[in-house]
Amino acid sequence: MDLMSKGGGEAVAMNVLEALQDDHDLTVLTLTDPDLRELNDYFDTDVDPAALSVERAGLLAPWLNDEFGLKYYVLQNALLGRYARRHGDEYDLLVSTINELGLESNSVQYVHFPFDWTVSSDERDHIFHPTVEEDSLYERLATRVAGVEREDIQQNALLANSGWTADVVEDAYGTRPEVLHPPIDTREFEERPWDDREEGIVTVGRIERSKRIKELIRITEGVRERGHDLHLHVIGPTVDDEYRREVQALASGREYVELEGEVPRDELVERICTHKYGIHGKEYEHFGMAVAELAAGGAIPFVPNEGSQHAIVDDREELLYGSVEDAKAKIAEVAADPDLQRELREPMGPEAIRRRFGRERFQRRIRKVVAEAMDRPAGRVSETPTDAPAERPASGD
């Protein structure tokens, strides 16, 4: 909906554009006017602005986005899908890089977090998106506008960013997507000697409530109280001004917390490569591209138990936390044990992450899936997306 929000989904969208631009005429259906040059710098992609056109999806959805940002997210999502479906016959193929949309059968959909239009919001806790509004009248309106049918989803070529997401989609719609992990750019990361790194923690992600940054500040404070002089860097663009003010207020007076906000790509990479630890706060994360980048930079990342990000850290119990108190104890334990640090670092680093989640793998698969969809007669899909072997990380996610 808004490429300039610069999250994981937007990174996927830019990589899809880069993968397809040499072989196809591309139109981006979106709600905003993206600055593709700025996005190329941010994501280290090479999308040619002259090779594609950008079309705003009607009037109402772009207006809602401009006026309210991520508020009324579900309705914006529904309106975008409705617009794409209405104009689908103008294109050879529709490719969605957002949640599941009610598109024509001969489409490709890459699902980051499934909204699951088949259940009510109070049944959706485990797949809940922070911008989903729990209001029955509003939700019924958005659902009606979206017009997502199980049969349509089953007839699309479906991809999911993780096995966890694929399970949720299968439960919701009775069809299992192929797992294609999102593209992690490891080209700028480099190995740094452990002893040369700072005794600090880096967290990367949009500044919004679901990232639980205030909890991460309290975790860092608790580790320091246990005798480890760690500091915390908070890096990422602001998409919730009210929450940023809350984070700023909590960080104020804590000299060990640096609220950096959005920084250039080279500074982000440098910060990760020069610190020993990383942490992620979002629960029920559907993949966790920021976690993979922390690992690519050689930092030891700590992540919540729930969701798919546990696969990135090879299900190591030492790196999985279930609460703020649990995280304090586990980070302190690792910080006190050089042998354990050495063991946990083995599956980290740019080459290990490239093999499991590299962007070449992602773009190659996207080109093949799109080519197969273009070759299919209208209204037909392959036997099942899972006929093709899903790419899996070494942990078996």
The pLDDT of residue 394 is above 80: no
Query: pLDDT at position 98, please?
Result: 87
CA distance 50 to 119: 42
Does residue 394 lie within any of the structural domains?
Answer: no
Is residue 167 domain-shared with residue 200, that is, in the same domain? no
All residues at 6 or more sequence positions from 17 whose CB lies less than 8 Å from its CB, including other chains: 26, 28, 45, 47, 52
Is residue 146 domain-shared with residue 98, that is, in the same domain? yes
Residue entry with tokens 């489409």:
107
CA distance 42 to 57: 24
Is residue 37 domain-shared with residue 166, that is, in the same domain? yes
pLDDT tens by residue, 270-324: 999 999 999 999 988 888 889 999 999 999 999 998 878 888 888 899 999 999 9
Does residue 188 lie within any of the structural domains?
Answer: no
- What domain range includes position 157? 3-183+359-387
Helix (H) or strand (E) holding 234: strand 231-235
Does residue 393 lie within any of the structural domains?
Answer: no
Report whether 96 contacts 104 (CB < 8 A): no
Is residue 173 domain-shared with residue 280, that is, in the same domain? no
Helix (H) or strand (E) holding 275: strand 275-279
The pLDDT of residue 396 is above 50: no
Report phi then psi at 277, rounded to 5.
-130, 155
Is residue 129 domain-shared with residue 202, that is, in the same domain? no
pLDDT tens by residue, 36-49: 999 999 898 999 99
All residues at 6 or more sequence positions from 321 whose CB lies less than 8 Å from its CB, including other chains: 302, 303, 304, 305, 327, 330
CA distance 342 to 81: 48
Query: pLDDT at position 118, please?
Result: 59
- Cα separations in angstroms, 141 against 17, 68, 132, 191, 203: 32, 18, 13, 51, 37
Percent of the chain with pLDDT over 70: 90
Is residue 280 domain-shared with residue 320, that is, in the same domain? yes
Report whether 180 contacts 362 (CB < 8 A): yes
Is residue 78 domain-shared with residue 117, that is, in the same domain? yes
Is residue 140 domain-shared with residue 224, that is, in the same domain? no
Does residue 215 lie within any of the structural domains?
Answer: yes
The pLDDT of residue 393 is above 50: no
Does residue 395 lie within any of the structural domains?
Answer: no
Does residue 392 lie within any of the structural domains?
Answer: no
Does residue 23 lie within any of the structural domains?
Answer: yes
Query: pLDDT at position 395, please?
Result: 38
Query: pLDDT at position 99, please?
Result: 81
Does residue 63 lie within any of the structural domains?
Answer: yes
pLDDT tens by residue, 124-138: 444 444 444 555 788
Is residue 349 domain-shared with residue 202, that is, in the same domain? yes
Is residue 58 domain-shared with residue 107, that is, in the same domain? yes
What CATH number did the domain enclosing 220 receive?
A: 3.40.50.2000
Is residue 148 domain-shared with residue 240, that is, in the same domain? no
Rounded to two decimals, the pTM is 0.78
> Ranked by mean pLDDT, which of 61-75, 139-153, 193-207, 309-323 comes out on top?
193-207
Is residue 367 domain-shared with residue 350, that is, in the same domain? no
Number of domains in the chain: 2
